[in-house]
């Protein structure tokens, strides 16, 4: 179903994320892709899901060349990212409907498919609830359901159970196994949980530094490490080479691997080997603070091929609501989120009336903030009267400014006679006169006089035009 040959991906900063990677994933197979952070897992997944380009190599998904037929590839795959892709402020049903429309499915088909998936994942009773009210396990089920709305042949699961409790994780394993057994889906799984890879996958591939180190069935990988694994933890080991040489002097030690201050020794029999190993440490004065042994696990396989435990590479889970705050870089949401965090202690404080009024008085309000505060404030009769008086004075000032009044008498109430005298003696521009005439309250006598003057003016103008047109012309 998926074939990768000689895949290379180099980022603009020169980082080679994928290096000559070749991989074959069979139909109806569950393959677990394991690797430390920065090993190339995410880059490979993004390429396979058409979310990222690549520099060299050949990739076919569901029989389609990813370079030439990306649309057909997208129709054939479902992708569940590590960070949830569902909208927390929509219902489960609305999320599924949206995903169906994105795939251009017909409405009746979307409706029937939602009912089918709701029953399959046992979330039918909560489909009409907001996703923000879902538990972590329910959200992950909805995530997978949205990826399956268009009936894909291949499903990509990136850390599907990260952050879930043990019960929810095991419940989701059941559904992943059912998808493979009952629906015949081919599944590519990335995970930090080795137990998950061990229980779910048909094969495990370990990737490091951009290429596959080893790929085989989980049991075969564990059997490849014969015997037992003895782990010795030292107090600040400075002489690591001396310690390894001392351990390898024993015939029963087949291999060794350092992990920080812990030395893993692969021996034929752990129980009988430990006394002799401790004796070797005492001889070279190496201070052992902890000893353990066990049968080989996938973590031992991981350590063998990558040099570190997968537990040490696990990334912390981002809380779902943090992404709404934005990331760094001075974005608007980032600044608001930082401010909200900084003021969290103030938010919890109970303000007295006097403190609230003082804070409001000293705050630099924007026009929108002031309007919102005024709309929501509970006003006393005295405050309301004072506010209206202030608004009246502002309106009066605005009117004076609009009419062009700028003499010393602006600040006092003018009598009618004084106002008329001021208006008569003022040098008016044409625009000011028009504005004043438009806003003035005219008496009957003033209106009649104004129209009489206007008629005389129009008559004089017409006579002038007539005299100009009737003037004798020279022949």
Beta sheet of 77-80, edge-to-edge order: 77-80, 154-158, 186-190, 30-34, 203-208, 211-216
Interatomic CA distance for residues 313 and 222, integer angstroms: 20
| pLDDT, mean over the chain | 79
Q: Map out the domains of the chain with their CATH numbers.
A: 2-219 (3.40.50.300), 226-295 (3.30.70.980)
Q: Are 125 and 48 in contact (CB under 8 A)?
A: no
Give the model confidence (pLDDT) of 69-114 as tens digits. 999 999 999 999 888 789 999 999 999 999 999 999 999 999 999 9
Q: Edge-to-edge strand order for the sheet containing 262-267?
A: 253-259, 262-267, 228-234, 288-294
> Is pLDDT of 165 > 90?
no
Does 473 have pLDDT greater than 50? no
Of 206-220, 293-307, 323-337, which gets the smallest average pLDDT? 323-337
Which is it for strands 2-10 and 56-61: parallel, antiparallel or unpaired?
antiparallel
In this predicted structure, what is the pLDDT of residue 200? Answer: 93
194: part of which helix (H) or strand (E)? helix 194-200
Phi-psi region of 187 (alpha: psi -120 to 50; beta: other; left: phi over 0): beta
- Give per-residue pLDDT as tens, 423-468: 666 666 777 766 666 666 666 676 666 666 655 555 555 555 555 5
* Prediction pTM value: 0.60
User: 228, 229, 201: which is closest to 217 by C-alpha?
Assistant: 201
Give the pLDDT confidence score for residue 114 in this predicted structure.
Answer: 96
Q: Give the tens place of pLDDT for each residue, 166-216.
A: 888 888 999 999 999 999 999 999 988 888 999 999 999 999 989 899 999
Instruction: Answer for the pair 50, 220: CB distance below 8 angstroms, yes or no.
Output: no
| Residue 298, CA distances (Å) to 159, 176, 195, 355, 369 in order | 17, 20, 8, 62, 59
């Amino acid at each position: 179903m998926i074939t990768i040959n000689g895949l290379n991906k180099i980022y603009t900063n020169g980082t080679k994320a994928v290096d000559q990677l070749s991989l074959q994933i069979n139909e109806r197979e569950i393959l677990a892709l394991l690797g430390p952070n920065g090993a190339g897992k995410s880059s490979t997944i993004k390429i396979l899901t058409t979310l990222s380009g690549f520099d060299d190599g050949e990739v076919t998904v569901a029989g389609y060349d990813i370079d030439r037929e990306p649309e057909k590839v997208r129709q054939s795959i479902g992708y569940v990212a590590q960070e949830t892709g569902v909208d927390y402020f929509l219902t489960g049903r609305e999320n599924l409907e949206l995903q169906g429309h994105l795939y251009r499915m017909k409405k009746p088909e979307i409706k029937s498919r939602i009912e089918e998936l709701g029953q399959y994942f046992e979330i039918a009773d909560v489909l009409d609830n907001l996703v923000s009210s879902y538990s972590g396990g329910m959200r992950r089920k909805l995530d997978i359901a949205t990826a399956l709305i268009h009936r894909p042949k291949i499903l990509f699961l990136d850390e599907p159970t990260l952050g879930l409790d043990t019960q929810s994780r095991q419940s989701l394993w059941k559904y992943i196994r059912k998808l493979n057994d009952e629906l015949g889906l081919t599944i590519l799984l990335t995970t930090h949980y080795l137990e998950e890879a061990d229980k779910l996958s048909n094969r495990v591939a370990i990737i490091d530094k951009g290429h596959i180190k080893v790929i085989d069935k989980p049991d075969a990988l564990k059997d490849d490490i014969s015997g037992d694994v003895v782990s010795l933890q030292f107090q600040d080991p400075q002489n690591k080479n001396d310690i390894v040489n001392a351990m390898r002097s024993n015939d029963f030690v087949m291999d060794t691997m350092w992990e920080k201050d812990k030395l893993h020794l692969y021996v034929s029999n752990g129980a009988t080997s430990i006394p002799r190993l401790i004796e070797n440490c005492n001889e070279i004065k190496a201070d052992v603070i902890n000893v353990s042994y066990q049968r080989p696990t996938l973590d031992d396989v991981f350590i063998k091929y990558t040099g570190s435990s997968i537990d040490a590479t696990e990334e912390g889970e981002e809380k779902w609501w943090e992404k709404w705050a934005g990331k760094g870089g001075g974005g608007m949401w980032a600044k608001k989120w930082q401010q909200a965090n900084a003021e969290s202690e103030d938010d919890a404080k109970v303000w007295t009336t006097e403190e609230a009024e003082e804070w409001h008085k000293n705050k630099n309000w924007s026009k929108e903030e002031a309007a919102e505060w005024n709309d929501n404030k509970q006003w006393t009769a005295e405050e309301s009267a004072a506010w209206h008086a202030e608004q009246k004075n502002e309106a009066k000032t605005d009117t004076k400014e609009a009419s062009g009044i700028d003499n010393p008498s602006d600040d006092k109430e003018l009598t009618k006679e004084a106002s008329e005298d001021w208006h008569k003696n003022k040098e008016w521009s044409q625009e000011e006169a028009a504005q004043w005439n438009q806003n003035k309250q005219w008496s009957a006598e003033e209106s009649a006089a104004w129209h009489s003057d206007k008629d005389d003016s129009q008559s004089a103008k017409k006579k002038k035009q007539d005299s100009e047109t009737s003037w004798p012309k020279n022949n």
